[in-house]
Amino acid sequence: MKCFFQAVLLTLALLTFSSPLDAGAGRPPVQKDITPEWFFPAWLGQSPHAPSFQVRDTVNKYGRYAQQVKIITLKDLIKFHGHFCGGLVESAGALRLALDALFPDRVIDRTDLRIISNNSACGGDVASYLTGARSRFGSHHIDNTLKESEFIVQKVSSGETVRVRVRPEAYPHEVRTLMKKIESGQYTPQDLDSFQELQWNYARRLVTRPLSEAFVVEKLPDFTWPPPVCPDLGRRRDNDYKNAPAR
C-alpha cells in the first residue's frame, strides 16, 4: 500500500513538472522541461508568468520545415548560458513580448529572424538561442549603445521589426549600482552574494506578474538594418531548403 501511494505521489510530481503539449495527428507530445534541479529552482519553473517558447526549425541540414515545434524553457536557456541570472530571465521576458508581436500564433520561426543586442553575456546568449540568429552569419548584430535586455528583432521575410526594453520603473537600480561596484574591482565577497540575491529577487518579481508590466514593445516601421560589425564569413545555408516541395 505504501508503494502504491509513493507511486501516486511520484506520478503527481511528474505531472506537475512536465507539461506535454498535444502535437495532434497521433504525433508524440512535445515536452516542456521545468523539473527542478540544483541550477533551476522549483519556483522559477512554477511561476505563473515564467516565459517559455514554442520554436519552429527545419528537420535536418538542407531539411524542410519540421511539422512539430520544440519548447524552450528558462531551464533550457540556463543550460546553454551556464547559470541562472537576472539578465537571463529579464532577456527572456523581454523577448517573449517581442516575439509575440512578430508571431501572433506564438510559434517562433527560428529560420526567419535576426536580432540586435548589446554584448551582454547573458542577454546576447538568450537572443541567439531564442531567435537562431548568429553573429558569425551576420544575423545577430551587436550594438553596445543598447541597454542590457534591450533588443531589436526583425522577421526577415516580412521586414516587420520591433524594439523591446525594460520599463525604467521596473528595474531595481540597486542591481546596477552593485554591478558597477563589483566590476570596478572594489568589492567584498559579501557583495557577490548580495548581487546574486538581488538578481534572483528581481527575476522572481518579473515572473510573478504579467510581463507587460515590466517591458514595453514598439514597432519600428522602415527600420534600416545596420552594417555588419563582423567581417563577412559567409551566410547560413542550412535553412535554404525549408520550403522545398515533398517528393
Binding site for Zn ion (CB under 5 A): 85, 87, 122
Smallest separation (angstroms) from Zn ion to the CB of 92: 11
Smallest separation (angstroms) from Zn ion to the CB of 65: 32
Rank residues 92 and 102 by Cβ distance to Zn ion and give the closer one: 92
Alpha carbon distance 88, 187 (integer Å) = 23
Closest-CA residue to 127 (of 85, 171, 93): 93
Rank residues 44 and 122 by Cβ distance to Zn ion and give the closer one: 122
Alpha carbon distance 114, 116 (integer Å) = 7
Smallest separation (angstroms) from Zn ion to the CB of 199: 9
Smallest separation (angstroms) from Zn ion to the CB of 39: 12
